[in-house]
Chains A and B, each alone.
Chain A
Amino acid sequence: SQTIHQWPATLVQPVGSPLSLECTVEGTSNPNLYWYRQAAGRGLQLLFYSVGIGQISSEVPQNLSASRPQDRQFILSSKKLLLSDSGFYLCAWSAGARDIAFFGQGTRLTVV
Protein backbone atom coordinates (compact mmCIF):
# COMPACT_ATOMS: atom_id res chain seq x y z
CA SER A 1 0.00 0.00 0.00
CA GLN A 2 1.05 3.58 -0.54
CA THR A 3 2.14 5.82 2.29
CA ILE A 4 3.28 9.41 2.49
CA HIS A 5 5.67 10.71 5.10
CA GLN A 6 6.16 14.34 5.93
CA TRP A 7 8.48 15.76 8.55
CA PRO A 8 8.94 17.42 10.89
CA ALA A 9 5.47 17.73 12.42
CA THR A 10 6.22 21.07 14.04
CA LEU A 11 8.97 23.59 13.51
CA VAL A 12 9.80 26.94 15.06
CA GLN A 13 12.34 28.95 13.13
CA PRO A 14 13.68 32.49 13.48
CA VAL A 15 13.18 35.06 10.76
CA GLY A 16 15.99 34.89 8.23
CA SER A 17 16.84 31.26 8.87
CA PRO A 18 16.69 28.60 6.13
CA LEU A 19 13.97 25.99 5.77
CA SER A 20 13.87 22.45 4.48
CA LEU A 21 10.73 20.32 4.68
CA GLU A 22 10.84 16.83 3.27
CA CYS A 23 8.14 14.59 1.91
CA THR A 24 8.52 11.03 0.68
CA VAL A 25 6.04 8.61 -0.82
CA GLU A 26 6.27 4.83 -0.68
CA GLY A 27 4.51 2.14 -2.62
CA THR A 28 4.01 3.94 -5.91
CA SER A 29 6.08 5.25 -8.77
CA ASN A 30 6.00 8.47 -10.78
CA PRO A 31 3.41 10.15 -8.57
CA ASN A 32 2.27 13.73 -8.92
CA LEU A 33 3.55 15.58 -5.88
CA TYR A 34 2.11 18.75 -4.34
CA TRP A 35 2.97 21.27 -1.66
CA TYR A 36 0.10 23.23 -0.12
CA ARG A 37 -0.01 25.79 2.65
CA GLN A 38 -2.94 26.41 4.93
CA ALA A 39 -2.72 29.89 6.40
CA ALA A 40 -5.42 31.53 8.48
CA GLY A 41 -8.36 32.51 6.27
CA ARG A 42 -6.61 31.34 3.11
CA GLY A 43 -7.73 27.76 2.77
CA LEU A 44 -5.42 25.30 1.03
CA GLN A 45 -3.14 27.30 -1.22
CA LEU A 46 -1.30 25.35 -3.90
CA LEU A 47 2.38 26.30 -3.77
CA PHE A 48 4.14 23.84 -6.06
CA TYR A 49 3.40 20.70 -7.97
CA SER A 50 5.58 18.23 -9.81
CA VAL A 51 4.80 15.60 -12.41
CA GLY A 52 8.30 14.12 -12.52
CA ILE A 53 11.89 14.33 -11.32
CA GLY A 54 13.24 17.83 -11.72
CA GLN A 55 9.89 19.15 -13.00
CA ILE A 56 8.50 21.83 -10.71
CA SER A 57 5.60 24.16 -11.37
CA SER A 58 5.28 27.17 -9.11
CA GLU A 59 1.87 28.60 -8.46
CA VAL A 60 2.53 31.56 -6.22
CA PRO A 61 5.56 33.87 -6.39
CA GLN A 62 7.04 33.84 -2.93
CA ASN A 63 9.94 33.20 -0.70
CA LEU A 64 9.86 29.45 -1.15
CA SER A 65 11.22 26.94 -3.64
CA ALA A 66 10.68 23.25 -4.25
CA SER A 67 12.79 20.44 -5.62
CA ARG A 68 12.23 16.84 -6.60
CA PRO A 69 15.61 15.14 -6.55
CA GLN A 70 14.15 11.63 -6.64
CA ASP A 71 10.93 10.17 -7.99
CA ARG A 72 9.23 9.94 -4.62
CA GLN A 73 10.89 12.80 -2.77
CA PHE A 74 9.65 16.36 -2.69
CA ILE A 75 11.42 19.10 -0.75
CA LEU A 76 10.20 22.56 0.17
CA SER A 77 12.92 25.09 0.92
CA SER A 78 13.63 28.67 1.74
CA LYS A 79 16.92 30.49 2.04
CA LYS A 80 15.56 33.12 4.44
CA LEU A 81 12.25 32.72 6.21
CA LEU A 82 9.82 35.59 6.65
CA LEU A 83 7.18 35.96 9.32
CA SER A 84 4.55 35.54 6.61
CA ASP A 85 5.87 32.05 5.85
CA SER A 86 4.22 30.74 9.02
CA GLY A 87 1.48 28.24 8.35
CA PHE A 88 0.52 24.61 8.06
CA TYR A 89 2.35 22.97 5.16
CA LEU A 90 0.93 19.89 3.53
CA CYS A 91 2.49 17.52 1.05
CA ALA A 92 0.26 15.37 -1.14
CA TRP A 93 0.60 12.79 -3.87
CA SER A 94 -1.72 11.45 -6.53
CA ALA A 95 -1.47 9.07 -9.44
CA GLY A 96 -2.78 11.91 -11.61
CA ALA A 97 -4.77 15.11 -11.16
CA ARG A 98 -8.03 13.22 -11.68
CA ASP A 99 -7.08 10.70 -9.05
CA ILE A 100 -7.54 11.04 -5.35
CA ALA A 101 -4.82 13.06 -3.67
CA PHE A 102 -3.46 11.64 -0.43
CA PHE A 103 -2.05 14.05 2.09
CA GLY A 104 0.66 13.83 4.68
CA GLN A 105 0.06 14.82 8.27
CA GLY A 106 1.40 18.30 7.73
CA THR A 107 4.09 20.52 9.25
CA ARG A 108 3.17 23.40 11.50
CA LEU A 109 5.78 26.09 10.81
CA THR A 110 6.03 29.08 13.08
CA VAL A 111 8.46 31.81 12.13
CA VAL A 112 9.40 33.99 15.08
Chain B
Amino acid sequence: DQQVKQNSPSLSVQEGRISILNCDYTNSMFDYFLWYKKYPAEGPTFLISISSIKDKNEDGRFTVFLNKSAKHLSLHIVPSQPGDSAVYFCAVTQGGSEKLVFGKGTKLTVNP
Protein backbone atom coordinates (compact mmCIF):
# COMPACT_ATOMS: atom_id res chain seq x y z
CA ASP B 1 0.00 0.00 0.00
CA GLN B 2 1.13 3.50 -0.74
CA GLN B 3 2.03 5.39 2.39
CA VAL B 4 2.99 8.50 0.49
CA LYS B 5 0.96 9.69 -2.48
CA GLN B 6 1.82 12.28 -5.06
CA ASN B 7 -1.30 12.17 -7.17
CA SER B 8 -0.13 14.49 -9.93
CA PRO B 9 2.45 12.77 -12.11
CA SER B 10 3.21 16.01 -13.92
CA LEU B 11 2.79 19.76 -13.66
CA SER B 12 3.52 22.48 -16.18
CA VAL B 13 3.83 26.17 -15.26
CA GLN B 14 5.07 29.36 -16.86
CA GLU B 15 8.32 30.92 -15.80
CA GLY B 16 7.76 33.47 -13.05
CA ARG B 17 4.52 31.89 -11.82
CA ILE B 18 4.00 29.76 -8.74
CA SER B 19 4.48 25.98 -8.79
CA ILE B 20 2.55 23.99 -6.20
CA LEU B 21 3.41 20.36 -5.69
CA ASN B 22 1.28 18.24 -3.41
CA CYS B 23 1.82 15.18 -1.27
CA ASP B 24 -0.53 13.15 0.92
CA TYR B 25 0.40 10.57 3.52
CA THR B 26 -1.58 7.93 5.33
CA ASN B 27 0.17 7.39 8.65
CA SER B 28 -0.36 10.02 11.33
CA MET B 29 2.80 8.77 13.04
CA PHE B 30 4.97 10.31 10.34
CA ASP B 31 6.56 13.37 11.87
CA TYR B 32 9.29 14.53 9.53
CA PHE B 33 8.81 15.43 5.90
CA LEU B 34 11.28 16.19 3.15
CA TRP B 35 11.28 17.27 -0.48
CA TYR B 36 13.88 16.10 -2.97
CA LYS B 37 14.57 17.17 -6.51
CA LYS B 38 15.79 14.79 -9.16
CA TYR B 39 17.21 15.27 -12.63
CA PRO B 40 17.28 12.36 -15.11
CA ALA B 41 20.03 9.80 -14.57
CA GLU B 42 21.10 11.44 -11.31
CA GLY B 43 20.45 10.80 -7.66
CA PRO B 44 17.88 12.99 -5.87
CA THR B 45 19.13 16.02 -3.97
CA PHE B 46 17.61 17.43 -0.81
CA LEU B 47 15.56 20.57 -1.16
CA ILE B 48 13.70 21.42 2.04
CA SER B 49 12.19 19.72 5.08
CA ILE B 50 9.67 20.31 7.81
CA SER B 51 9.03 18.82 11.21
CA SER B 52 5.53 18.03 12.42
CA ILE B 53 5.81 20.70 15.09
CA LYS B 54 5.73 23.33 12.37
CA ASP B 55 3.24 24.13 9.65
CA LYS B 56 5.53 26.13 7.39
CA ASN B 57 9.19 26.26 6.48
CA GLU B 58 10.70 28.66 4.01
CA ASP B 59 14.03 28.68 2.19
CA GLY B 60 14.42 31.28 -0.51
CA ARG B 61 12.00 30.55 -3.32
CA PHE B 62 10.88 27.30 -1.72
CA THR B 63 8.23 26.98 0.98
CA VAL B 64 6.82 23.78 2.40
CA PHE B 65 3.43 23.76 4.12
CA LEU B 66 2.22 21.00 6.39
CA ASN B 67 -1.41 20.32 7.28
CA LYS B 68 -1.31 17.56 9.86
CA SER B 69 -5.05 17.19 10.22
CA ALA B 70 -5.37 16.59 6.49
CA LYS B 71 -2.14 14.59 6.31
CA HIS B 72 -1.08 16.81 3.47
CA LEU B 73 2.01 18.75 2.58
CA SER B 74 2.80 20.98 -0.32
CA LEU B 75 5.85 22.60 -1.86
CA HIS B 76 5.54 26.08 -3.30
CA ILE B 77 8.13 27.46 -5.67
CA VAL B 78 7.92 31.19 -6.31
CA PRO B 79 8.90 32.43 -8.80
CA SER B 80 9.36 29.30 -10.88
CA GLN B 81 12.41 29.16 -13.13
CA PRO B 82 13.22 26.87 -16.09
CA GLY B 83 16.05 25.35 -14.04
CA ASP B 84 13.44 24.09 -11.59
CA SER B 85 12.25 21.61 -14.20
CA ALA B 86 12.81 18.21 -12.59
CA VAL B 87 11.00 15.44 -10.77
CA TYR B 88 10.08 16.32 -7.20
CA PHE B 89 9.69 13.66 -4.57
CA CYS B 90 8.25 14.02 -1.11
CA ALA B 91 9.58 11.71 1.57
CA VAL B 92 8.43 10.91 5.08
CA THR B 93 9.81 9.35 8.19
CA GLN B 94 8.87 8.97 11.83
CA GLY B 95 10.64 9.06 15.13
CA GLY B 96 12.00 5.68 16.16
CA SER B 97 12.18 4.42 12.60
CA GLU B 98 15.09 4.63 10.24
CA LYS B 99 12.92 4.16 7.17
CA LEU B 100 12.70 6.96 4.64
CA VAL B 101 9.74 6.44 2.31
CA PHE B 102 9.26 8.34 -0.93
CA GLY B 103 6.28 9.12 -3.08
CA LYS B 104 6.12 8.42 -6.81
CA GLY B 105 7.20 11.92 -7.74
CA THR B 106 5.80 14.80 -9.77
CA LYS B 107 7.52 15.96 -12.93
CA LEU B 108 7.61 19.74 -13.02
CA THR B 109 8.16 21.55 -16.28
CA VAL B 110 8.71 25.29 -16.16
CA ASN B 111 8.22 26.86 -19.57
CA PRO B 112 10.21 30.00 -20.53
Query: B-contacting residues of A (Cβ < 8 Å)?
Result: 6, 32, 34, 36, 41-46, 49, 51, 57, 59, 88, 90, 92, 94, 96-98, 100-106, 108
Contacts and interface: CB of A to CB of B under 8 A. Distances in A.
Nearest to A104: B43
B40 to A, nearest CB: 9
Given A44-B89, A108-B41, A100 B99 contact: no
B100 A101 contact: yes
Given A43-B6, A105-B41, A106-B42, 20 more contacts: A32-B98, A34-B100, A42-B104, A43-B102, A43-B103, A44-B89, A44-B91, A44-B105, A51-B98, A88-B41, A90-B44, A97-B93, A97-B97, A97-B100, A98-B32, A100-B34, A100-B46, A101-B34, A101-B91, A103-B45
A97 B93 CA distance: 7
Interface of B: 6, 32, 34, 36, 41-46, 49, 89, 91, 93-95, 97-105
A88 B40 CA distance: 10
Contacts of B44: 44, 90, 103
